[in-house]
Amino acid sequence: MQILINNSDGVPIYEQILRQIKEMILSGELKEGDPLPSMRILAQQLRISVITTKRAYEELEREGFIESFTGKGSFVRSKSSELIREANLKIIDESLAKACDSAKKCGISADELKDIIDIIYND
């Protein structure tokens, strides 16, 4: 498991942790029931405050990706990869709706649009 923090990124550190853990769940690197490192160990290793890792875990829990048990730690919840998949599908839906909108405005056909997607997808 790898978590890399960018200190010069404008993104808050807890958010960077959140995103990277979500990516690991989605890619299958973290599977249902897998334990997450303890908040304190993660903070120590990344050289950040405990409140930062705590915040990341709280968000993950609130969004339904992990569950925490006092004294035992935090674990990846079942169906969490589906949740992320759904969230991503929603983002894809929205971005494609925008793309279709722009395509229609200048008379680009659905086929042409699909070609563009093919090119970008295989890039």
Partner 1 sequence: MASTFAAEIKNVCKQRKDFKIDNVSFTLPSGTVTGFVGKNGAGKTTIINLILDVIKRDSGEILIFGTDNITHRTEIHEDIGVVFDVIGFPETLKIPQLDRIMSGIYKNWSSEEFRNRCKEFDLPEGKKFSEYSRGMTMKLSIAAAISHKARLLILDEPTGGLDPAARSEILDIIRSFVCDDEHTVLFSSHITSDLEHIADRVVFIKNGKIILEEDIITLSETRAIAKFGEDMLSVISPDEITGLRKNAFGCEALVSDREAFSKKYPDVMLCNASIEDIIVFSGKKKGDAAK
Smallest CA-to-CA distance from 64 within 50, 78, 45, 48 is with 78
Note the Cα 61 to chain centre separation in Å: 13
Q: Which of 31, 40, 90, 104 binds partner 1 (CB under 8 A)?
A: 40
Smallest CA-to-CA distance from 30 within 15, 20, 41, 17 is with 20
Asked whether the beta carbons of 25 and 76 are under 8 A apart, the reply is: yes
Considering the rule CB under 8 A, would residue 11 count as an interface residue with partner 1? no
Give the chain's length: 123
Give 50 or 97: the residue with its C-beta nearer to partner 1.
50
The beta strand positions in 7-72, using DSSP E, are 66-69
Number of residues that bind partner 1 (CB under 8 A): 14
Q: Which stretch, 20-28, 50-58, 90-98, 112-120, contacts partner 1 (CB under 8 A)?
A: 50-58
x-marked contacts with partner 1 along 55-84 as a string, rule CB under 8 A: x-----------------------------
Give 22 or 55: the residue with its C-beta nearer to partner 1.
55
Give 44 or 78: the residue with its C-beta nearer to partner 1.
44
Considering the rule CB under 8 A, would residue 43 count as an interface residue with partner 1? yes
Give 10 or 107: the residue with its C-beta nearer to partner 1.
10
Q: Sign of the C-alpha dihedral, residues 68, 12, 51, 45?
A: positive
